[in-house]
Amino acid sequence: MKAEGVNAFFGKTQALKGVSLDVPENQVVAVIGPSGCGKSTFLRCLNRMHEVAGGSRVGSILLDGENIDDIDPVNLRRRVGMVFQKPNPFPTMSVFDNVAAGLKLNGTRDRGKLAEVVERSLRQAALWDEVKDSLQKSGVSLSGGQQQRLCIARTLAVDPEVILMDEPASALDPISTAKIEELIFQLKSSYTVVIVTHNMQQAARVSDMTGFFYMGNLIEYDVTKKIFTAPSMKQTEDYVTGRFG
Amino acid sequence: MERHFQKELDGLKTSLIKMGSVVEESLSTAIQALFEQDEALAQKVIDSDERINSLEIEIDNGVIDILALKQPVASDLRLIIAVQKINNDLERIGDHAVNIAESALGLVRTPATEPMLELPSMADITKAMLRHALDSFILLDPQLARSVLERDDQIDKLNRAMTKQVIQLVQSDPRIIEGGLDLIRVSRNLERVADLATNIAEEVIFHTQAKVVKHHAEEKENTRKENS
């Protein structure tokens, strides 16, 4: 994906100021910065969820060279899926139905096909072994970490190209967090991932590229190793070393 | 699900073991060149130092990557610190091997004495200390590491004895002073290699047991506890 001169607003309040960055294919891009810096707003711009929250945007965002404003929003959000901070499996549905929901909405009815995709998605989300004997159990009966992986499986089931993650592990315990991070590392072989995190150490562990935002501005965007060993901008240095934010 | 981080740690450890192997060979070849008065072997050691330096930089970069990006803690952190220090020690041993090779070239031109006084004993003990120090890292064996520490005093004594004997020889025949100086240099370099092998063993103990034994710290701590 490619963002060019993106400005985002909530009413008269400008949340993003002229943000331009490239999201390389099959890499993990981390977006870090202090609270209110615009990182979640930027993420939501990438699949036009920002508009759902009542925001507006100026500037272009491209997906495989195509302007996302020219893509049907529903189709865009299938191709650019999202995983949220708080796991949100559909509470009235089973594990199976949670993963199959997107497929069914898109018209898939064949039980065999649904079962095949559900298993593949749950395996990709590293959850299959834990739920294969209880696929009819309610999705909300799973632990927090399992619910989050279920949500990831649900996103994967509709075959996205990009996966957006908004602080996907902040509500989870350390072991579940480690599983999610290892999963992110595995997912990038097949998908492109953009992750917003307030945990700098997590950004360092999982990402290839890191963008540091501050007050709506993209201050620095570079290879993660450079950001965490020798950042170019003093503000970035101050932030990653804990001197502000 | 295997931790990706574990693969990186294992990769770094493998690189260090490889570096150890290259340095051991360099030291061994330098000593062989010295005793066999083989100029070609000595030159081979000098020429191969560049490879050791490159390996050191590669491992240093690996350590920085892991420290900056993976935030290791507990035994993983102790391993990374040990790798960093052992890496540095091995590069220094490589330099001492080069020094020995250069002295070997000097002795080919201006022979000193035959046999080489204490040098054969020192060489055997030093090579064994380095081998055991590296084995203790590979096997995570603190007992083997401690056995290396116990031999350092022996090398120090032999080094002092070498210096005395060379001085006596030069006093009786001043013409061999150049060769005598080369012998002292070799002795000094072997003594430094033994010190560095001891350092490696100390790092292994730190990594495996989280104990600091350098500078007799463990003994001082035990004494302090007994007196309190």
Q: What ipTM goes with this model? A: 0.72
Question: Percentage of residues in chain B with pLDDT exceeding 70?
Answer: 97
Do residues B14 and B22 touch, judged by C-beta distance below 8 A? no
Strands A192-196 and A162-166: parallel
Residue A195: other Cβ atoms inside 10 A? 27
Measured between CA atoms, the residue of chain A closest to residue B2 is A182
Q: Which of B1, B3, B68 sits opposite A204 (nearest CB)?
A: B68
| Burial of residue B7, with CB atoms counted within 10 A of its CB: 0-12 exposed, 13-18 middle, 19 or more buried | exposed
Q: Which residues pair with A21 in a beta bridge?
A: A3
CA distance B66 to chain A (A): 9
What is the homologous superfamily of the domain A2-240 according to CATH?
P-loop containing nucleotide triphosphate hydrolases (3.40.50.300)
B208-B213-B215 Cα angle (round to 5): 155
Residue B115 has pLDDT above 60, yes or no: no
- Mean local confidence (pLDDT), A81-91: 93
Alpha carbons A146 and A176: distance in angstroms, whole number: 8
Q: Tell me how many degrees the CA angle B118-B119-B122 measures, rounded to the nearest 5.
A: 90
- The Cα B124–Cα B120 span in angstroms is 6
**Options 1.20.58.220, 3.90.1420.10, 1.10.760.10, 1.10.3720.10; which CATH number does B4-217 get?**
1.20.58.220
Do the Cβ atoms of A225 and B68 come within 8 Å? yes
Whether pTM > 0.90 for this model: the answer is no
Domain ranges in chain B are: 4-217
Q: What is the mean pLDDT of residues A183-211?
A: 94
* pLDDT recorded at residue B113: 60
CA Rg value for chain B: 20
Q: Determine what percent of chain A is predicted with pLDDT higher than 70.
A: 100
Which H helix or E strand runs over A37? none
Q: Higher-confidence residue: B72 or B4?
A: B72
- pLDDT, tens only, B139-172: 999 999 999 999 999 999 999 999 999 899 888 8
Q: Give the count of Cβ contacts less than 8 A between chain A and B.
A: 26
Q: What tokens were used for A118?
A: 């559900």
Query: Would you say residue B3 has pLDDT above 90?
Result: no
